[in-house]
């Protein structure tokens, strides 16, 4: 089979690295070699950053309307390449073709919405005399200006959408971008940049740097030419990144252990539907997956019965056949999930269904009677295993929910809106969903992680704000 070696993109050109080394990318489900990407050198990173700095000087002067036109074209080009990109996403990160196509369409929508939001944002002005002793003759004009060169590091699970969620706000706001895709996801990222190249984006504004995180990751993060970092990925990597980065703005979207809290008065059928979709779509490889259920013991058996029936209906297998539960991204991930299941079973959890493995494919697994001494009660599996923890009160559910190191999202299932708010108000998380699964979208909602789940915020407007800073110009009138 003819395997492509993809070039990296710098200063508007596709290049081979002087390292003459390439990283092999294997499909997580067929285990076939699907392509190679350049393992670029530190010197090439320096070059890419200088090109970005140079390009940004002109770009920040380009009118917002003109910048918008490039991004609209990018969205159109992406849709023109939808099938081609989706095919690569499927092969590279093992997402079903339907989901991969939706990811591309969601990305085009996200880019367009980001442009429109930016076009409608405006600064403000303040008069001096509203402060005691201040004078009317002082007027402050407050506007948002770009930060410079943004380092965008998306994760493997949304190699297109979460990359564009960083690139689009950066570019429309007048920044240049150094785009470091996840190694597994790099070909999808390259394809996305092909669409941007076709859109005619001025050279140097976006440079894609591929290579092993272990080799170029720290170098990029610590580089003096980087003015802001937007990272989505694991909590450990994010925490290390935050320690190493210079004094620059950071937005970190990290892991989660989102609880689904089920009260006695919940619509159990609906709650189960949301929990199953929240926990098992794309094999639970979403930071926002429901990763534990905290159910009132009086309805636990009933809920379990429905969950078991629904889990057993989930389609399992290759993403090429459109299955929901697909092989995990790599063997290490599958081993980790298997370890969590094993630990829980050893410590007395009840296996309701699942715990079958074929290579990287872990069958959807439900564990009942999970207790807080089990690793699966606290650790993020990023795989298709759902622990059920029985609780005796809302207070206990809130306590266990908050004892987690993470604070991304939480779901509460109840028919009593006052109770829902009473619980929601006490949950330490960026977002709380009432009677719905945990999820980031729609993409213009603020998306926030607290505690080990991150810092800063994403979501269209928040993305734009995070990639700009306020600048104040004060007019001192003489009359
Ligand atoms: O994996 C992290 C993503 O931000 C989750 O996005 O809720 O749309 O799946 P999602």
Q: Are strands 457-458 and 447-448 parallel, antiparallel or unpaired?
A: antiparallel
Class of domain 258-448: alpha beta
For position 236, what pLDDT does the model report?
95
The neighbouring-strand residues paired with 469 are 145
Phi then psi dihedrals of residue 111, to 5 deg: -65, -45
SS3 percent helix, strand, coil of the chain, rounded to 5, is: 40, 25, 35
How many whole angstroms from its chain centre is CA 284?
13
Contact 340, 385 (CB under 8 A): yes
Instruction: Kindly list the protein residues whose Cβ atom lies closer than 6 A to any atom of ligand 1.
Output: 157-158, 286-288, 439-441
Domain 5-254+454-472: give its CATH architecture.
3-Layer(aba) Sandwich (3.40)
Look up tokens 């979501």; give the residue. Answer: 459
For position 212, what pLDDT does the model report?
83
Domain range annotation of the chain? 5-254+454-472, 258-448
Ligand 1 atom with least separation from CA of 282: 9
For position 1, what pLDDT does the model report?
66
- Three-state DSSP at 431 gives strand
Q: pLDDT tens-digit profile of 117-170?
A: 999 999 999 999 999 999 999 999 999 999 999 999 999 999 999 999 999 999
Q: pLDDT tens-digit profile of 58-76?
A: 999 999 999 999 999 999 9
Pocket mutation for ligand 1, best pick of 237, 286, 444 (most atoms within 8 Å of C-beta): 286
309 given a catalytic annotation: no
Contact 36, 3 (CB under 8 A): yes
Task: Out of 92, 117, 253, 310, pick the active-site residue.
Answer: 253
CA dihedral sign, ordered 459, 464, 470, 475:
negative
Ligand 1 atom with least separation from CA of 443: 8
Which spans in 294-436 are helix H?
297-313, 331-346, 394-403, 417-424
Residues of the chain where predicted confidence (pLDDT) is lower than 70: 1
Residue 15 CB contacts under 8 Å (≥ 6 apart), including other chains = 7, 8, 9, 38
């Amino acid at each position: 089979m003819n395997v492509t070696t993809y070039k990296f993109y710098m200063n508007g050109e596709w290049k081979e690295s002087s390292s003459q080394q390439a990283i092999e990318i294997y499909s997580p489900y067929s285990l076939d070699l699907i392509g190679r990407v350049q393992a670029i050198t530190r010197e090439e990173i320096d070059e890419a950053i200088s090109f970005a700095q140079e390009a940004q000087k002109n770009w920040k002067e380009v009118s917002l309307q003109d910048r918008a036109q490039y991004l609209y074209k990018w969205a159109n080009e992406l849709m023109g390449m939808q099938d081609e990109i989706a095919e690569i996403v499927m092969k590279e990160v093992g997402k079903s073709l339907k989901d991969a196509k939706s990811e591309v369409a969601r990305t085009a929508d996200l880019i367009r919405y980001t442009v429109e939001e930016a076009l409608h944002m405006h600064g403000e002005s303040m008069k001096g005399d509203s402060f005691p002793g201040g004078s009317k003759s002082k007027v402050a004009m407050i506007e948002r200006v770009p930060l410079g060169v943004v380092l965008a590091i998306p994760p493997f699970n949304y190699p297109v959408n979460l990359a564009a969620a960083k690139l689009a706000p950066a570019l429309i706001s007048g920044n240049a971008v150094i785009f470091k895709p996840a190694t597994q996801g790099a070909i999808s990222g390259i394809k996305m940049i092909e669409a941007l190249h076709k859109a005619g984006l001025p050279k140097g504004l976006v440079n894609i740097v591929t290579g092993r995180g272990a080799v170029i990751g720290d170098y990029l993060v610590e580089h003096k030419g980087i003015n802001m970092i937007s990272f989505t990925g694991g909590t450990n990597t994010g925490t290390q990144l935050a320690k190493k980065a210079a004094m620059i703005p950071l937005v970190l979207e990290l892991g989660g252990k989102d609880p689904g809290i089920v009260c006695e008065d919940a619509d159990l059928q609906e709650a189960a539907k949301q929990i199953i979709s929240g926990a098992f779509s794309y094999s639970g490889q979403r930071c926002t997956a429901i990763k534990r259920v905290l159910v009132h013991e009086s309805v636990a058996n009933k809920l379990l019965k429905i969950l078991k029936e629904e889990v057993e209906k989930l389609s399992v297998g290759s993403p090429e056949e459109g299955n929901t539960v697909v092989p995990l991204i790599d063997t290490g991930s599958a081993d980790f999930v298997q370890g969590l299941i094993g630990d829980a079973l050893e410590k007395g959890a009840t296996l309701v269904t699942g715990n079958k493995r074929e290579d990287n494919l872990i069958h959807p697994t439900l564990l009942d009677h999970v207790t807080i001494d089990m690793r699966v009660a606290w650790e993020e599996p990023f795989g298709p295993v759902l622990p059920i923890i029985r609780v005796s009160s809302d207070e206990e559910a809130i306590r266990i929910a908050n004892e987690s190191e993470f604070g991304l999202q939480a779901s509460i299932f109840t028919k009593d809106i006052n109770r829902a708010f009473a619980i929601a108000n006490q949950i330490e998380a960026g977002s709380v969903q009432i009677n719905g699964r945990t999820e980031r979208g729609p993409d213009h909602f603020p998306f926030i992680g607290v505690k080990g789940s991150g810092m800063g915020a994403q979501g269209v407007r928040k993305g734009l704000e995070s990639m700009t800073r306020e600048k104040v110009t004060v007019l001192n009138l003489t009359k």
